[in-house]
Structure 1
Amino acid sequence: MGDQDDQGVWGRSAWPVWTPARPASRAAHIRGVVVLSLLLVWPLREALGPDRVWPETLVVRVALGAVTLLYAAGWLGAMVAGVRLPPRRRILLIGTLFALAVVAALLRDGPSYLGHAGVFGFALAVAAWLLPARWSVLLGVTTWALQVLTLGVAPGPVVWEHVGGLVPGIVIPVAVTLLIRLVVQLGQAREEIAALAAAAERDRLARDLHDVLGHSLTTITVKSGLARRVLESGGDPELALAELRDVERLSRQAHGEVRLTVSGRRRPSLAAELAGARAALRAAGIGAVLPPSADHVRADLAGPFAYVLREGVTNVIRHSGANRCEVLLGDDWLEVRDDGPGQHVEGPGNGLSGLAERLRAVGGRIEAGPLPGGGFRLRASRA
């Protein structure tokens, strides 16, 4: 149960909203219904027990019993399922419960019984459960004032002890119900935070694994293909063995990076990515023009730029068909350009979406698109 606006439990429009119980919480839901049912035992015994003074007329007795049971059933149903109703039906339900309480009081002992403490306690509890909290408090104050007025117009002198005794019958149902409501809201907020945290962790793993494995597997594929072509053409076996050793090294490196990614301890290095990009482009037969170092890049941008460089070079190797790739690097910007005729992607894929999220976290942005003279450009920058 939560509120429809951001003003909290005291918000003007803070109508409690029902959140369907998950299978794991159905047992708790059933226990709650049982507890609510037990709360009716003592009031029903007080109202319908054999030690009470019943009206003399049988018809009135039957009517009183029926109205009391209907009042109790209405209270139980409202507490269990009332939060599923829209606001207007909630107001109608609460008005019906107040009407049943009035009828029961009139059948019990006439108009004077309307000033009895606790007559409207269950109806006020429903109001505190279903209405905005401010409304329920105002309704409680109004109910107390009307009960005091009833005592004032009743025959005989006003007993001020009775007036003071009305206060607990108003305050306790409203205050306790609002407290329970707040506890439920806090519990739901805790569950929502846990769900959001789990979703964020899944997104992080998906993004990081894409960035890590995409580049590593692409480089492994390129080097394996190069070694195969060397062996098939009868070339230098030492060259093929060197490529296969790189494949083994890259596989072990990828395994370690995956472990660090899953544990959340992986920290990308822009300098390492430059070295890896140079080796991957060489193996793919693509001419590489890379900056000699990345020491001048701002520290908070080095990590995101490392991911951009890895994704950009991977896309050049996989999609571009380029002969040349150039990486330009400034203090707060990075560009990966190629001269290929191929289309890298049709719209933002997982890689570019992940890069955009990383850049937004540091106040940057990602741009990708064809160059006017041919080729493709991937740019990351912070204004």
Structure 2
Amino acid sequence: MSLDIDGSEVDVVIAALHPNLTTFLEEWRPILSRYHLIILKDPDMKEELQIPSGFDHQVYTKVDMEKVAGQTSINFSGHSSRYFGYLISCKKYIISIDDDCLPARDDQGFLVDAVAQHVTNLSTPATPFFFNTLYDPYRKGADFVRGYPFSLRNGVECVMSCGLWLNIADYDAPTQAVKPDERNLRYVDAVLTVPVRSMMPVSGINVAFRRDIVGPAFFPALRLAGEGKCRWETMEDIWCGMCAKLVCDHLGLGVKSGLPYVWRGHGVDGGDALESLKKEWEGVKLMEHVVPFFQSVRLPRTAVTAEDCVIKIAGMVREQLGPLDLVFKHAADAMEAWVKLWKAAAPQSQINS
């Protein structure tokens, strides 16, 4: 990649669900040693984190999360700890990677610099209003195809970059159950812009975004009413991703998908699809109501920032989805609480003082 990346503009957010990060960080050392790391210790973890030397990092714990979140209903446990990193960062670019992912290698065997690729995606325009059949026209060796309107060739600002997984694909529990041995081993060297008004599932395991523009649209919300009933965190980033995509569409901003890949060593529940299905099923059913909702939402012109959009979406969620299940009412409450937290959040440097 030819882009000269300013590391001071990047925070790599790592949700630490395992106490020993030594193997994870040593595998990532050639890449992550150049950037500042925000490591979020799962509030439910009792063990001390083991972190090798040589990394510019800051660890945040349950105490830090409670200090910032106060008495709100925001839940930062488990995978949701990554959202606290989004909240307290003060950098332009957020790169989110979970601690069960290792760097991928491309089809020639070279290590994939996921951070550089994400920043490249976010630093070049997106084309959501007219699809280019050669994918990313701004990449070296590519251009717009015949018939592409010249009036749209400047593109729009890209604010979200959704990376992919090698090995374990991002399947839900029912798909895992019928395809237990399937692996994604095909490296596709491509990036494309997701068209406007097209919803998409987003995984928080390998995603990047412009914090300064759409940061408030990345929040924990859907799991609040489901503790003990369902593992909502497997649906939470899907919910968050659809909210973020809706915000991007409304504000005329771009979203890309494709490179970079990470290598996912195992799925949730250690790859036990039936165990995952028991925990996910309630969420899977509710998502059938969620997708039509997001496909139908149109935000008013008065919503001109990500914060405005999230508040408007929260109101619609409460009104239209709230009667279906209490989890949606709690989700709307959490979205509104998140915007307040976002506006009031202290700079990162002050949290552990």
Common fold by TM > 0.5: no
> Which has more helix, going by share of residues?
1
Question: What is the TM-score normalised by the length of structure 1?
Answer: 0.19
Structure with greater strand percent: 2
